[in-house]
Homo-oligomer: A and B are copies of this chain.
């Protein structure tokens, strides 16, 4: 996420962060606009300046973790020429990055969607479906090109998205791995999990094939030497 610089946006973000923490601690029904203002050390008027009510705060949080996720996945899907392996790697990195940089917000949204208006709930469901569709399409393309194994693309997409989403329950900024390291590991797990055994990049070099031949010959040679005389 791009850093926002204007003072208004910084204050708006502070309200969203403070509200997220309170919603997780006390639940959405148990948190008031006064509590949020109190946690920030500002007046209620200052909070009302940005959000007319608690539901608007929850809606803004939902927007971050659903609308933004949908937008990000959509932008990548537009890059049609992208190799499916690279596309999946990018999709995982950017989705995971969104979650690990908003873990509390993500959990708040997951828990409190029933407090959103039906219209906003439907919008959130729509953006989630868009993310799932983009992941599914990329996996289908990879199966089509022979780079990914023949699996149920939708179930695989749900599994991979789940791996990203669950980071909201375990990622700690104080942990020994950075956000980037975690996202890269998740992407490699996803890509390798699907990759066809022995699959080559689309434009395979014959040199790569020769390398494999040499490797297997060396292995056989070793095994023959290891044989008891």
Give Cα A212–Cα B216 distance, bound, in whole angstroms. Answer: 7
B223–A213 CB distance below 8 A: no
- Asked if A160 is at the interface of the complex by the 8 Å CB criterion, the answer is yes
A155–B177 CB distance below 8 A: yes
Give Cα A133–Cα B25 distance, bound, in whole angstroms. Answer: 27
A161 surroundings in chain B (CB, below 8 A): 166
Partner among B193, B216, B219 whose Cβ is within 8 Å of the Cβ of A189: B193
Partner among B152, B166, B185, B219 whose Cβ is within 8 Å of the Cβ of A163: B166
Closest to A223 in B: B206
Q: How many copies does the complex hold?
A: 2
A185–B152 CB distance below 8 A: yes
- Asked if A121 is at the interface of the complex by the 8 Å CB criterion, the answer is no
Contact with B along A170-203 (1 / 0, CB 8 A): 1000000100011001101110111101100000
A216 surroundings in chain B (CB, below 8 A): 209, 212-213, 216
- A interface residues, Cβ below 8 angstroms from B: 25, 27, 29-30, 110-111, 114, 149, 151-152, 155-156, 158-167, 169-170, 177, 181-182, 185-186, 188-190, 192-195, 197-198, 204, 206, 209-210, 212-213, 215-217, 219-220, 223
A186 surroundings in chain B (CB, below 8 A): 159
A152–B177 CB distance below 8 A: yes
Give Cα A188–Cα B30 distance, bound, in whole angstroms. Answer: 43
Give Cα A149–Cα B189 distance, bound, in whole angstroms. Answer: 10
A209 surroundings in chain B (CB, below 8 A): 216, 219-220, 223
Closest to A158 in B: B170
Distance from A223 Cβ to chain B, minimum over Cβ atoms (Å) = 6
Distance from A209 Cβ to chain B, minimum over Cβ atoms (Å) = 5
A111 surroundings in chain B (CB, below 8 A): 111
Give 3 nearest A-B pairs by CB, closest first.
A162-B166, A193-B193, A189-B193
A149 surroundings in chain B (CB, below 8 A): 188, 192
